[in-house]
Amino acid sequence: MVRLDGVGGMTYFVKRGDEPIRPVIFVKIGGGSGKREDIKTAVKELSLLHELGHVDDFIKQINIKEDAQNDPVAAELYAHNFACKEMLGRGLKLAMKVYLTQAIPQFAAVGCEANRQAAQMFQSSREFKTYLAFCADAR
């Protein structure tokens, strides 16, 4: 069972007997009292999309592999890009803004080593600037 921490969620890959591995996503609900409702919704959206990035990675066997060593930095970077591409495609500007301006800097500063490295790489990527431009007018 592999566990990956996300922004406001976690993904577990559960193996039971001979059954295929199943991803299980947990996303925090509630909390953040005093925050705007649209910000709370944005955090749930970005958290779920980040975790779905880990599932997509696993399904495609890119960085999270069933029978091989995982690369946690590459997996986090993949999830960041997956989440942002989804937010871009769905027009989720506020979620993107919260992701890029709050969650990613937090990971870059205080995340575990893999999260810190991935966040720093993501922040210096060309895609990051594209995503920032997309959500610049979100409030």
Q: What share of the chain is helix, strand, coil (3-state, %, to 5)?
A: 60, 10, 30
Q: Annotate each residue in 21-60 with x if it binds Zn ion (CB under 5 A) or - if it does not, as one string.
A: ----------------------------------------
| CB nearer Zn ion, residue 45 or residue 76 | 76
Which stretch in 41-49, 57-65, 75-83, 84-92 sits in contact with Zn ion by CB under 5 A? 75-83
Shortest separation between residue 9's beta carbon and Zn ion, angstroms: 8
Q: How far is the CB of 118 from Zn ion (least distance, A)?
A: 8
The amino acid that residue 120 corresponds to is Q
Q: Which of 42, 43, 73, 79 binds Zn ion (CB under 5 A)?
A: 79
DSSP string, 26-93: EE--S--TTS-HHHHHHHHHHHHHHHHHHHHHHHHTSSS-SSS---HHHHHHHHHHHHHHHHHHHT-H
CB nearer to Zn ion: give 79 or 94.
79
The position carrying tokens 């007018």 is: 137
Closest CB to Zn ion among residues 38, 115: 115
Nearest to 80 by CA among 102, 36, 109, 47: 47
Nearest-angstrom CA–CA distance, 85 and 53: 10
What's the min distance (Å) between Cβ of 14 and Zn ion? 17
Binding pattern for the stretch 5-24 against Zn ion, x by CB under 5 A and - elsewhere: -x------------------
Interface residues toward Zn ion, by CB under 5 A: 4, 6, 76, 79
